[in-house]
Chain A
Amino acid sequence: MKLLVPVKRVVDYNVKVRVKADGSGVETAGVKMSMNPFDEIAVEEAVRLKEKGAATEIVAVSIGVQQCQETLRTALAMGADRAVLVLTEESPEPLAVAKLLRALVDREQPGMVIMGKQAIDDDMNATGQMLAGLLGWAQGTFASKVELSDGVATVTREVDGGLETVALTLPAIITADLRLNEPRYASLPNIMKARKKPLETIAPGDLGVDVTPRLTTLRVAEPPVRQSGVKVGSVAELVAKLRAEAKVI
């Protein structure tokens, strides 16, 4: 079975994100970029499935600027077999990404798409679900455990009330949550080998998808600075303040 793993290039999770001076977005120039941590987990899961013999080939996909090649190289160093970059200067919205991925699914015919549950840049948490909808495939989102047997993926999902287990008939979409696994460090020999693995670049047009944004960002701003609090002397004072000042009770 072939696995498709989309990976996104995002601002590294260690970086303190700053809003651009003109309020048009967040500053990414000169900022350390890395693979979205949830996507790393997805790659790791795919590599483990391959190591177990449950998968035969892993194709990593990234959508975005030329530098996404580096993100793809990271996936290749972790164990993906080949990579596809859909090159675009736009920063496509989840629906456009899902459409591009659907086109790639048509082309590659994977048995599963394993992806991060969300990207840490805008935390949309939408692409996996949209892709499942477009393809009409089963979906197991927020996965913390995945088991495969006889064309069925048993996925343990992290839901608000605890854990939910679903059985998906393949082909299916799985989106990875934090506890699914702990991604490996790429080994030095694999980093070197990754340079020689195939990396194909295509345009959104090649896949017949229009990635023009449908949303307009009006303004991006820092959240207001938290005001320092006051210490109350008694429960009575607290209740009084909640009623009179905060007007919440």
Chain B
Amino acid sequence: MQTYQAPLRDMRFNLYELHGLDALTALPAFADLNADTIDSVLEEAAKIATEVLLPLNASGDIEGCVAENGVVRTPRGFREAYATFRDGGWASVAGDPDYGGQGLPESVNTLVQEMMCAGNLSFSLYPGLTYGAVKALAAHGSPELRDLYLPKMIEGIWSGTMCLTESHCGTDLGLLRTRAVPEEDGSYRLNGAKIFISAGEHDLTENIVHLVLARLPDAPAGIKGISLFLVPKFLPREDGTPGERNGVACTGIEHKMGLKASATCQIAFDDAKGWLVGAPHKGMQGMFTMMNEERLGVGIQGLGIASVAYQSAAAYAKDRLQGRSLAGARRPDLAADPIIVHPDVRRMLMTMRTSAEGCRAVGLWVSQAVDLSRHAETEAARTAAADFVALMTPVVKALFTDLGFEAASLGIQVYGGHGYIREHGVEQFARDARIAMLYEGTNGIQALDLVGRKMPAHMGRSLRYFFHPVSEFIEANRKDPGVGGMVEHLERAFGALQLATGQIAQSGLKDPEEAGAAATDYLRLLGLVAMGYMFVRSAKVAHAKVSDAGPDAGFYKAKLGSAQFFIDRILPQATALFLAIKSGKQSTMALEDAAF
């Protein structure tokens, strides 16, 4: 059964005890913020996720979206759920207060998003894409566009999309063909066909605002000739209400593996009226603003799925009776023991659990840096935080979504054959989770972004924002009576990461294929070290509190248990990854193409 209760205690641990609110409340933007307010926000968000969204998750999967004559209907209950979501202000948790947003920190928003994704991944895409479009528009749109569109998008009355993909052009956006021609009145006329456009058409909002990549007539070839346009479904009237229908049409929706309640649309632009966002030919900059936000958001999708898959599996494992404990019957009163007694089932549950907890901790680390990059008082502090976020964005995207899918797959395994049967609802998690490894740049592309762009950026400066705190922590805690043992393991993994970094920097410089062949393993290696660092720090906090935590002792004990499992059983993968990277590209590239 799809089982979910928002892990509010762990969220509060991460927010207040591991990362701490001080860094945020020290910023003028959040001076008023306090834990009580955040708690109320998280609790209410948890209700929306579990009482409004989760009940529509399985039904939405079965019904899917329906497209007829260019009109797309979302599954039963989605319109009402969206109204509840929007009226509650959940579409704009971290939105700009100047445009009606709630102005809460990204770190709080990240937790809210995690709950929404756990409750209903398909649903989360509709507001999720709007949020990305808002960020791109806020950063690059003209004041007129911002004033006209942002308030309605932040409120969630209008939604947003990002239109990049065409049938011949996915990863390689330089191939893009959609054209835009300037008009007398300063607007543009767009023609072309996009595919795979999430939320491209639906019945949840009164207008849909497409952000479209297209080429101007004088555009240079390739990726340097792409501009960003805003193309609304309905052209706004003077008073801002939706008016005449624009030349944008949904020509069909995709039938896909999962994520069925999210409409994935083919969109035709037929003399559609649009407006330029940002400078001509600089569209990729605008789109990257959006994509970076979205990539962090997609990472959180993986985390949400890991969390709900874990809870669903844990509930089943306590209930399902099969076999006897190897250590002697634990429930002689029953026909068999619950499967949670079996070490192999434990392995699966602990792996899922530590994926969720570890990603949550890393995710908050990064989202707190997002807050600093926006609101820190000095330019230097903002830049440092932004560099760290840039470095970690591909890691959050690819690591979290890989682990999310792995957790969903383990979840099926815990259920045995019943996991494969639709009625239990857990195979849906795997089908839904799978997309997150693909869109917003496949995870392979994330890894290339990490080694090709983020690692060498500013002569490796960004990487130092990761390496320095980890090595300082190791130095300071090697002899720590509580976590010294864990630190030793972390140090070994960190050593592997440093060696791998050196190797890629050297060989990749001479031969980019070397970096390309190492990229995915390297991303996982860095991700594991990031999670390990978070776990050891968490263990340190928990260790200090566990003995006189009263009723909370159980939480801290479990946190120590999670950390120990991750350090003992998952982190050693770092060494293997390093050895794989060290062997170089040779064996990967050896076969002739014809041999495949």
Which positions in A face B, CB cutoff 8 Å? 14, 27, 29-31, 70, 73-74, 77, 185-189, 191-192, 194-195
In this complex, the member of B40, B104, B555 whose beta carbon has the largest number of chain A beta carbons within 10 angstroms is B40
**Are B41 and A188 closer than 8 Å at their CB atoms?**
yes
CB–CB A188/B90 < 8 A: yes
Given contact pairs A70-B36, A188-B104, enumerate 4 new A-B contacts (beta carbons under 8 Å): A30-B554, A186-B88, A188-B92, A191-B37
> Given A30-B554, A185-B48, A185-B84, is A77 in contact with B89 using a C-beta cutoff of 8 Å?
no
| Known contacts A30-B550, A185-B47, A189-B102: A194-B40 contact under CB 8 Å | yes
| Bound form: Cα–Cα A195–B36 in Å | 9
Which residues from A are CB-within-8-Å of B555?
30
**Known contacts A30-B551, A30-B552: does B40 contact A189 (CB below 8 Å)?**
no
**Distance in Å from the Cβ of A97 to the closest Cβ of chain B?**
25
The answer to whether A70 touches B40 (Cβ under 8 A) is yes
Q: Write the chain B residue with the least CB distance to A14.
A: B5
Mark interface residues in B449-462 (1 if CB within 8 Å of A CB, else 0). Answer: 00000000000000
Q: State in angstroms the CA–CA spacing of A195 and B102 once bound together.
A: 14
Among residues 1 to 57 in chain B, which have CB atoms less than 8 Å away from a CB atom of chain A? 5, 34, 36-37, 39-41, 44, 47-48, 52
A18 and B351 CA atoms in complex are apart in Å by 30
Instruction: Kindly state the separation between the CA atoms of A192 and B554 in the bound complex, as whole angstroms.
Output: 32
Number of interface residues of B (CB under 8 A): 25
Question: If the complex has contacts A77-B40, A192-B102, are A187 and B550 also in contact, measured as CB distance less than 8 A?
Answer: no
Main secondary structure on B side of the interface with A: helix
Complex CA–CA separation, A188 to B104 (angstroms): 10
A70, B551: Cα distance in complex, Å: 20
Q: How far is the CA of A29 from the CA of B554 in the complex (A)?
A: 12
Kindly state whether residue B319 has any CB partner on chain A within 8 Å. Answer: no
Smallest Cβ distance from B100 to chain A, in angstroms?
9
Determine if B87 is an interface residue (Cβ-Cβ < 8 Å). Answer: yes
Please give, as numbers and ranges, the residues of chain B lying within 8 Å of A74 by CB-CB distance: 40
Q: Given the complex, which residues of B lie within 8 Å of A27, measured CB to CB?
A: 551
Pairwise interchain contact B550-A29, C-beta atoms closer than 8 A: yes
Report B77 CB to chain A, min CB distance, Å.
Answer: 15
| One of B5, B102, B551 near A188 (C-beta < 8 A) | B102
Interface status of B385 (Cβ within 8 A of chain A): no
User: When A70-B40, A194-B40 are in contact, do A188 and B550 touch as well, CB less than 8 Å?
Assistant: no
Which single residue of chain B is at the shortest CB-CB distance from A31?
Answer: B551
Q: Is the CB of B37 within 8 A of A189?
A: no
The chain B residue sitting closest to A185, CB to CB, is B88
Task: Point out the residues of chain B lying under 8 angstroms from A191, CB to CB.
Answer: 37, 40-41, 44
Q: Which of A29, A74, A77, A192 has the most CB of B within 10 A?
A: A192
Determine if B93 is an interface residue (Cβ-Cβ < 8 Å): yes
CB B392 to nearest CB in A, in angstroms, measures: 27
Supposing A29-B551, A30-B551, A30-B552 touch, asked if A187 and B40 sit within 8 A by C-beta, the answer is no
| Given known contacts A14-B5, A29-B551, A30-B551, A188 and B44 CB-to-CB distance under 8 angstroms | yes
The docked-state distance in angstroms from the alpha carbon of A153 to that of B357 is 53
Minimum C-beta distance from A136 to chain B (A)? 38
Tell me if B40 and A73 are in contact (CB < 8 A): yes
Partner of A185, one of B36, B37, B44: B44
Least CB separation from B100: chain A residue = A189
Nearest-Cβ distance from residue B343 to partner chain A, whole angstroms = 27
Minimum C-beta distance from A55 to chain B (A)? 22
